[in-house]
């Protein structure tokens, strides 16, 4: 089994991090905590486990954060006794090739995508009964037993030729969806959860900070969920500006510094204090921060109207310095949104995957041109270089498994 994985090794991570600016190729070297390996084909560890063979997999910013050793060992998640090995690649479509005798949700020959497998163990995958309150509610990323080590773990990931998983960690894809659409179900569900975390009201003004694939899909899903909302996107690159307009943004702010444009578009009043300190009164009703750096969180809180909300969808996994004072003096709510799960929709509880799949099938959620680059798995280094440098015009880069 071919696989690419990140081994939690603090000394290797620190050495790689210190060398990367001078030697970019260090991430693929023996010094790095990342390994490209041929692993023995593992047996299924239980009767409700499955084995899959991959077809293609997207390259996600989360994968790149691990590969490029950008995470800080002082962030909160690093304090948890989590996994020692992270297999890269979760935006993956695969074929089921083996099932355990008690598997009921999928069959050999089904096409599946990864569900909870990449977010860590859950009560379901570990066979814990009764499950924690979050697993009972279908919000598996919040599982309180995630670090308990109570059950077996899958081997392999999307950046390889296959993997093993508990049946609850994969979901069947209908035949009407293409492989390209299947790869985009997971990132689209991430965007959908963010939008439903603070669903805009008709006529409200919305800002999406960052127009990578999640930001672009967030623009699109705001337009689907609340067509009457006014949507502004903030994009750094020309191809992102064009794509944001195509997916439904009413306005696009190019570049990084948006204070004057935010004031103009919202009718807010921009104030400038000592040392160039800027603050807006009036602003957006809801802001989705896809980038999640200290700077974007600081700006987002200052661009939200009093009583508005900033939803952090992506996060820089570093200990950061930012200004939270608008949470107090403007009563701006700062909230987080992580991956996907069961959502409230039209009075029912439905999985985000099911909504996204339905909208892809009927054409409500367009996916054409979102996959911009394709590479065979053997060219993973070139694929990563393309995905990392947005000047290439990359939106979504995929790896395709060779026969």
Question: pLDDT of 300-358, one tens digit each?
Answer: 999 999 999 999 999 988 899 999 999 999 999 999 999 999 999 999 999 999 999 99
The token duo for 243 is 């794509």
Same-domain check for residues 220 and 116? no
Quote the percentage of the chain above a pLDDT of 70: 100
Same-domain check for residues 230 and 268? yes
Which residue range is the domain that position 264 belongs to? 190-336
Pair 6, 34: CB distance under 8 Å: yes
**Which positions ≥6 away from 338 have C-beta within 8 Å?**
119, 141, 142, 193
Burial of 259 (0-12, 13-18, 19+ CB in 10 A): middle
Residue 79 has pLDDT above 90, yes or no: no
Pair 325, 303: CB distance under 8 Å: no
Pair 402, 379: CB distance under 8 Å: no
Q: What is the CATH number of the domain that holds 31?
A: 3.90.180.10
Same-domain check for residues 21 and 164? yes
What values do phi and psi take at 374, rounded to 5? -130, 140
**Sign of the torsion angle spanned by Cα atoms 157, 162, 167, 171:** positive
Q: How many residues does the chain have?
A: 403
Model confidence over 267-291: pLDDT tens digits? 999 999 999 999 999 999 999 999 9
* Mean pLDDT across the chain: 95
Q: How many angstroms separate the CA atoms of 400 and 159, rounded? A: 9
Angle between the N-to-C axes of helices 238-246 and 213-225, in degrees from 0 to 180, rounded to the nearest 10: 20
Pair 371, 243: CB distance under 8 Å: no
For the chain, how many structural domains are there in total? 2
| Alpha-carbon distance values, 242 to 114, 245, 254, 393 (Å) | 30, 5, 10, 11
* pLDDT attached to residue 403: 61
Q: Write down the residue that tokens 């959502």 correspond to.
A: 343
Residue 233 has pLDDT above 80, yes or no: yes
Same-domain check for residues 231 and 287? yes
The token duo for 295 is 């700077």
| Average of per-residue pLDDT across 18-28 | 94
Pair 314, 290: CB distance under 8 Å: yes
Write the DSSP symbol of residue 21.
T
* pLDDT attached to residue 81: 79
- Grade residue 18 by pLDDT with cuts at 50, 70 and 90: very high
**Sign of the torsion angle spanned by Cα atoms 266, 205, 188, 291:** positive
Same-domain check for residues 17 and 65? yes
End-to-end CA distance of the chain: 13
Same-domain check for residues 155 and 16? yes
Q: Is residue 246 part of a domain?
A: yes
* pLDDT attached to residue 76: 87
Q: How many angstroms separate the CA atoms of 291 and 314, rounded? A: 5
Q: How many angstroms separate the CA atoms of 143 and 339, rounded? A: 13
Helix (H) or strand (E) holding 386: helix 380-388
Same-domain check for residues 153 and 197? no
Q: How many angstroms separate the CA atoms of 388 and 253, rounded? A: 22
* pLDDT attached to residue 38: 94
Same-domain check for residues 44 and 146? yes
Q: What is the CATH number of the domain that holds 212?
A: 3.40.50.720
């Amino acid at each position: 089994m071919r696989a690419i994985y990140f081994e939690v090794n603090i000394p290797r991570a620190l050495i790689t991090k210190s060398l990367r600016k001078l030697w970019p190729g260090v991430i693929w070297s023996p010094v790095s905590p990342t390994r490209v390996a041929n692993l023995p084909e593992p047996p299924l560890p239980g009767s409700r486990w499955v084995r899959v063979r991959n077809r293609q997999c997207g390259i996600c910013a989360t994968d790149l954060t691990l590969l490029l050793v950008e995470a800080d060992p002082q962030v909160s998640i690093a304090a948890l006794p989590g996994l020692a090995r992270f297999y890269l690649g979760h935006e993956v479509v695969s074929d089921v090739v083996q099932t355990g005798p008690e598997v009921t949700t999928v069959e050999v020959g089904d096409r599946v995508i990864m569900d909870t497998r990449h977010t860590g163990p859950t009560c379901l995958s570990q066979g814990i009964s009764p499950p924690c309150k979050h697993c009972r509610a279908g919000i598996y990323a919040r599982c309180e037993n995630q670090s308990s080590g109570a059950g077996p773990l899958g081997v392999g990931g999307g950046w390889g030729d296959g993997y093993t998983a508990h049946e609850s960690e994969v979901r069947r894809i209908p035949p009407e969806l293409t492989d390209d659409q299947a790869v985009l179900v997971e990132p689209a569900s991430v965007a959908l959860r963010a939008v439903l975390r603070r669903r805009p009201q008709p006529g409200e003004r919305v800002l999406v900070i960052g127009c990578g694939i999640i930001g672009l899909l967030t623009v699109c899903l705001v337009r689907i969920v609340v067509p009457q909302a006014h949507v502004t996107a903030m994009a750094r690159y020309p191809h992102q500006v064009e794509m944001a307009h195509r997916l439904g943004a009413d306005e696009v702010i190019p570049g990084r510094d948006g204070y004057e444009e935010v004031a103009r578009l919202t009718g807010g009043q921009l104030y400038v204090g000592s040392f160039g300190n800027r603050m807006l009164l009036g602003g957006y009703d809801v802001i989705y921060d896809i980038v999640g750096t200290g700077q974007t969180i600081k700006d987002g809180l200052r661009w939200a109207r009093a009583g508005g909300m900033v939803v952090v969808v992506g996060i820089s996994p570093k200990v950061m310095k930012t200004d939270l004072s608008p949470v107090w003096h403007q009563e701006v709510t700062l909230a987080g949104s992580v991956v996907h799960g069961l959502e409230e929709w039209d009075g029912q509880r439905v999985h985000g995957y099911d909504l996204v799949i339905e909208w892809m099938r009927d054409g409500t959620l367009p996916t054409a041109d979102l996959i911009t680059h394709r590479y065979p798995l053997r060219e993973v280094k070139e694929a990563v270089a393309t995905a990392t440098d947005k000047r290439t015009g990359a939106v979504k880069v995929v790896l395709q498994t060779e026969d």
